[in-house]
Structure 1
């Protein structure tokens, strides 16, 4: 008889928690609610991403579309980003994001309740870095790719995480890419 495998664990063995891996909030835990398609970017993938970015983001202006748990946005804030805009539409996720912002004292984080597609279509803001990690298998990242270049500063970067390999649209080039399990991720740079 085979031994039953233990279910996968998250930060410190507790479900619905993820830890910040670097910067001033390092080792702090973020709590988030259950939600369809809500799966934080794993520690190993976030570590790879921030190695690509150079660890610190002093003064950067970042956008975290589909913020969910806030793992990417709070990681950027922890590493010195001057402003992080988080876009999320789920009320439970918004409540958790606000609670985590208060717990961390992350005043540079703005949390907006909005649909990511509609917000991006109506915004004229530009960013140094945009995180796009929509609900898994939604196909929403591909829908947004063509819109990203106009929201990036010259030389700005966009991180994409989705179920399919990332294909760069006009105006962006893939700088680095990887895969973890079923997730494909890439860092794109504005030409």
Structure 2
């Protein structure tokens, strides 16, 4: 895989839907605000629950990073379940405003960094900081089809992702089994929505038990 120039290309907009809540952990059941607009798309409770189930109880001391944060729901879900900290990224100012409102609602602003940046710029900043990252969430607007680009950038990065990269994507988006050092270890579909979990093979042995399997809720 050619890693040259990956961080210099431009990304797309992001957003989430209109009905969002935290489904587990210390803030279970808390309803969150969501940004409005044509680019918003909710991660449903059923898919979110499946996503975190596939991630398992494995939580390192690293950050939970959501590169297309929208409402901030995935990062807040991670914090609710025990993550030490989160970096929530979105270049849309309305999304950033919503994330700040939700952080205030959870009273967890001290554990979060909120960046109004393009995802590539944000990843460069994380590299410069030599950030310790546990999980990376990749759930861009479907129309942008940015999943391969993000996975390539993460795979070429000097940052080691300790736990993994989790992608929510449409069933029509065919992702590769491997992007550089990232290897897909779990894959499930729930109707028209799929979840793919990638592990960084540099951080240890990869479990292939669930690789390539799919199912429905």
- Which whole-Å CA distance do the structure 2 matches of 1:184 and 1:58 have between them? 24
- Which whole-Å CA distance do the structure 1 matches of 2:58 and 2:150 have between them? 26
Query: Match of 2:70, SS?
Result: coil
| Greater Cα offset, 165-174 or 131-140 | 165-174
- Which whole-Å CA distance do the structure 2 matches of 1:58 and 1:172 have between them? 18
Relative to its length, the structure with more strand (as a share) is 1
On the 8 A contact 1:130/1:158 being kept in 2, the answer is yes
| Aligned partner of 1:176 among 172, 186, 205 | 186
| Distance change in 2, residues 1:151/1:128 (3 Å) | farther
| Aligned partner of 1:53 among 52, 55, 64 | 55
Unaligned stretches of 5+ residues in structure 2: 1-16, 202-217
The match for 1:189 is: 199
Unaligned stretches of 5+ residues in structure 1: 1-14
The match for 1:118 is: 121
The match for 1:11 is: none
| Aligned partner of 1:16 among 7, 14, 18 | 18
| Aligned partner of 1:156 among 163, 171, 179 | 163
Deviation at 1:176, TM superposition (A): 0.7
- Which whole-Å CA distance do the structure 1 matches of 2:162 and 2:113 have between them? 23
- Which whole-Å CA distance do the structure 1 matches of 2:138 and 2:22 have between them? 18
Q: Which residues in structure 2 correspond to 1:100-115 (within 5 Å)?
A: 100-106=102-108, 107-115=110-118
| Distance change in 2, residues 1:155/1:58 (3 Å) | closer
- Which whole-Å CA distance do the structure 2 matches of 1:180 and 1:81 have between them? 26
Deviation at 1:40, TM superposition (A): 2.4
Deviation at 1:141, TM superposition (A): 1.4
| Distance change in 2, residues 1:162/1:54 (3 Å) | closer
| Aligned partner of 2:77 among 75, 78, 82 | 75
The match for 1:10 is: none
- Which whole-Å CA distance do the structure 1 matches of 2:65 and 2:91 have between them? 15
| Greater Cα offset, 161-170 or 91-100 | 161-170
Query: Match of 1:66, SS?
Result: coil
More RCO (CA 8 Å, sep 6+):
2
On the 8 A contact 1:137/1:162 being kept in 2, the answer is no
